[in-house]
Amino acid sequence: MKKIELLAPAKNLETGIAAINYGADAVYIGAPKFGARSAAGNTLEDIGKLIEYAHQYWAKVFITMNTILYDHELKEAEQLIHKLYDLGADALIVQDMGILEMDLPPIELHASTQTHNYDLDRIQFLEKVGFKRIILARELSLEEIKNIRKHTNVELEYFVHGALCVSLSGQCYFSHAIGGRSANRGECSQACRMRYDLVDEEGKVIAKDKHLLSLKDLNLSDHLEEIVDAGICSLKIEGRLKDSSYLKNVTNYYRKSLDRIFYKKREFEAASSGSVKPGFKADPEITFNRGYTSYFFTGRIPEIANFYTPKSMGKEIGKIREVKKDHIVVDSKFKLHNGDGLCFFNKNKLLKGFQVNGVQGNKVFPNDMSMLQKGVALFRNNDHEFAKLLKKDKSIRKIGVEFFLDIFDGGLNLTAIDEDEMSASIQINEHFEAAKNEELAFNNIQKQLQKSGDSIYEINQVDINTEQVPFIQAKVLNDLRRQCLEQLTQTRIETSKVEESRPLIAHPPYPAKQLSYMGNVVNCKAEEFYHKCGVEKIEKGFELQKNHSGKAIMTTKHCLRHEFGMCHKETKTGKKQNQALFLVDNRNRYRLEFNCQRCEMKIIFG
């Protein structure tokens, strides 16, 4: 059977444990430094705790060190990698090829999506280098994924949910160009979520004050079976800045969706053990989202961006039927609650919101009645009751166990066998008196052994083998059960450790002899790596250059020509279509370049 991994983000130890408990087969978490979310670094102590917790379930922990490194950081990064390996980290997610020239421990290496894994020749190059896994670009379609799978053998990981970077990953320099905060250094200022005007070369305004680069969030939950069939082994949720409630809801939704597929298609199975029975029904529309899109998975589709807001809209719940003096009448099939946050687009297409102060049937009493109009669609971006339910739910992922108790003259032997056929046994050499009431004593033994408390186990069955039922104190049985399960946990953790082998780093020929600043080379070891691969000329990385004028600061498949009906492939080429276009904010004007053959748009600085 092929193991399929559901991979969830972890902002910290708390969210990492939540992701594991609610169904993740693996989590990815930031190292203390050098992760692509500088605000989501974690201590080595917390990372160690998360690894120990995850390994009980045979779940894995991947560490993100996917920024580019400056020369003065190389030694510290190398030392940190060794510390992470010593903690038992399952893999390292990296962007900087300079890491490959370090003295590495035998830790698994994954090529971050920041290494721009879009073209087949690039992916094949990284496979030959020695990466165990390649995290594919979000822009790839199903057919492109199938083609990559057909021509590679490396493990493939693919995003299925969460926020979308509008730029090709690793190819965005917008934030650094305008404010010195490099996305490739984990400091993105999210310039793509800001407002811009779109104007032509004659100064005509095509779009005014819109969030022209702000994409909706990815949701491929309707395509999971196609993704698994295409050869993806790891399905990734984005969100290393999200809280535990988000992780509980989204992770469990995808867990249940995948489990339904595995039930139908027996050639697939989950990559870790255990199951969870949460006290809520997961629904990703209820938690943070900017509206959802399947992006390019099924090919180019309209409205992949939300021009009107970069904020969470939540779930559409109905329309305003009437507007009264102090309340509105709402047509909705969903129950509303005091404390809910509702939002709507006003006549100027601006997102406005209000809090619900009271509900009487279909009458809703807002804290602010301004700008509310009949017929307006309402979205709930804060489901107050659901949020409380998520916060309160403390479900623990459980591993099924069967107990076998052998009672013999002079002692007891308790054996635990879990759902993965891992076992542990504890024996007590002690004489127990025969019970005066055998039925009562037998029931008491079963009752004590069926308890699992707040452990990671769920006792599915207790078999008792004895000729004569003795009286055994509850304390003895409880200690016996606890010791047996502790030993089982240690067995599981030991079994989770994979055979170690030093990553074999090769230097295959790079597909080109020259590397532009988009190769993100900012240290001597990265230069060394590419020179060994036959690259003759290497331009310094964008972050090391002082003059950025005329350089592309973003490359994206999100085409504004296409969005505004000016695509050369879909309309007759004329003066209007050939005119230069510009993005304008209150500081700069950015020229747009279009590569119609590749369906790409570039934003040029200066």
- Amino acid, single-letter form, for residue 383: D
Cα 551 to the center of its chain, rounded Å:
31
Mean of pLDDT over the chain: 94
pTM for this predicted structure? 0.95
Residue 39 pLDDT greater than 80, yes or no:
no
Residue 419 has pLDDT above 50, yes or no: yes
N-terminal to C-terminal alpha carbon distance within the chain: 54
pLDDT tens digits for 11-21? 999 999 999 99
pLDDT of residue 574: 45
pLDDT, one tens digit per residue, over 304-320 is: 999 999 999 999 999 99
- Give residue 410's pLDDT band: very low, low, confident or very high (50, 70, 90): confident
Nearest-angstrom CA–CA distance, 595 and 582:
15
pLDDT at site 572 = 58
Quick one: tokens of 404? 């076998």
Question: What's the confidence (pLDDT) of residue 454?
Answer: 85
Longest CA–CA separation in the chain, Å = 100
What are the structural domains of the chain? 2-164+216-270 (3.20.20.70), 313-392 (2.40.10.170), 399-496 (no CATH)
Span 429-446, average pLDDT: 93
Contact predicate 134/146, CB 8 Å: no
Residues 251-262, mean pLDDT to the nearest whole number = 98
**Which distant-in-sequence residues (6+ apart) come within 8 Å of 197 by Cβ?**
205, 207, 208, 209, 210, 583, 584, 585
- pLDDT value for 345: 94
Residues 6+ apart with CB under 8 A from 299: 141
Question: Residue 528 has what pLDDT?
Answer: 98
State both tokens at 458. Answer: 């769920």
Q: Would the pLDDT of 575 be above 50?
A: no
Q: What is the pLDDT of residue 429?
A: 93
pLDDT at 184: 95
For residue 418, the model assigns a pLDDT of: 97
CB 50 within 8 A of CB 33: no
Q: Range with the lowest mean pLDDT among 287-296, 307-316, 567-576? A: 567-576
**Does residue 137 surpass a pLDDT of 80?**
yes
Q: Residue 115: phi, psi to the nearest 5?
A: -85, 10
Cβ partners under 8 Å of residue 498, min gap 6: 90
What letter would DSSP give residue 257? H
| pLDDT score of 75 more than 50 | yes
- Dihedrals phi, psi of 34, to nearest 5 degrees: 70, 25
Please list the alpha-helical segments (H only) found in 28-119.
Answer: 44-55, 74-87
Quickly tell me which residue has 């000016």 as its tokens. 566
- pLDDT (0 to 100) of residue 577: 57
